[in-house]
């Protein structure tokens, strides 16, 4: 029997993505150094930042456009820059999450954010795990060496859970940089992959 519908039909509903990523963070430089060789998603659920209000992955690429002839016509697009970012807003407003969101390392045990004491954001391993609705497959984003660069904002509403937006930027993790590893030489900012849930 012929299909009577036209247009872009769903090929596999198992891959429809509804819901949010679980964001997992290895907070300290020691943990990051121990994990830098791992290219798989290896952080446990205990490293999760908890409930999320929203999650987003953003991959930005910039290209140089070459033109030639008269009139000028485009003949090549050459990649010149790539950025990978994870943006999310967490709902659990507790010390660890707030220190992470400010670019700090909660593993130092201080449990505080020192205002006016600017410092370079800590390097952290950040993973985002998404499990499809059928619980058979998942998508995992791995930033092996990333920094949180967002402004810390917290707005409370009368009848809505507060949340704080965060931007995580992937930085190089290849063997050419201190603290990197050769396993990331052909994917220096990290990777996104799909696997079966076992």
Max Cα–Cα distance, the chain, nearest Å: 70
For residue 14, being part of any structural domain is answered with no
How far apart (Å, rounded) are the C-alpha atoms in residues 94 and 109? 13
Percentage of the chain with pLDDT > 90?
69
Query: What's the rounded mean pLDDT across residues 118-134?
Result: 93
For residue 82, being part of any structural domain is answered with yes
With 80 as the cut, is the pLDDT of residue 127 above it? Answer: yes
For residue 159, being part of any structural domain is answered with yes
For residue 109, being part of any structural domain is answered with yes
With 80 as the cut, is the pLDDT of residue 1 above it? Answer: no
Its domain, for residue 91, covers: 20-63+74-196
For residue 5, being part of any structural domain is answered with no
Q: Tokens for 176? A: 């050419």
The domain tally of the chain equals: 1
pTM for this prediction: 0.91
For residue 184, being part of any structural domain is answered with yes
How far apart (Å, rounded) are the C-alpha atoms in residues 94 and 47? 14
Burial class (CB in 10 A: 0-12, 13-18, 19+), 44: exposed
What percent helix, strand, coil does the chain show, rounded to 5? 15, 40, 45
pLDDT of residue 109: 66
Per-residue model confidence as pLDDT tens digits over 16-38: 999 999 999 986 667 777 889 99
Range in 74-78, 111-115, 171-175 with the lowest mean pLDDT: 111-115
- Whole-number average pLDDT of the chain: 92
């Amino acid at each position: 029997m012929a299909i009577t519908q036209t247009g872009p039909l769903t090929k596999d509903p198992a891959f429809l993505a509804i819901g949010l990523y679980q964001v997992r963070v290895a907070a300290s430089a020691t943990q990051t150094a121990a994990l830098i060789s791992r290219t798989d998603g290896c952080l446990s659920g205990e490293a999760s930042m908890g409930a999320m209000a929203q999650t987003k992955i953003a991959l930005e690429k910039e290209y140089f456009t070459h033109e030639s002839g008269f009139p000028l016509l485009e003949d090549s697009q050459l990649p010149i820059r790539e950025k990978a970012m994870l943006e999310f807003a967490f709902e659990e407003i507790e010390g660890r999450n707030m220190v992470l969101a400010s670019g700090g390392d909660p593993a130092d045990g201080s449990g505080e954010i020192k205002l006016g004491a600017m410092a370079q954001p800590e390097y952290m391993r950040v993973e985002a795990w998404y499990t499809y609705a059928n619980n058979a497959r998942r998508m995992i984003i791995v930033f092996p060496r990333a920094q949180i660069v967002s402004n810390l904002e917290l707005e409370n509403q009368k009848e809505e859970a507060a949340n704080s937006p965060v931007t995580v930027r992937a930085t190089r993790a290849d063997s050419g940089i201190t603290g990197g590893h050769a396993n990331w030489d052909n994917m220096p900012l990290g990777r996104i992959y799909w696997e079966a849930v076992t």
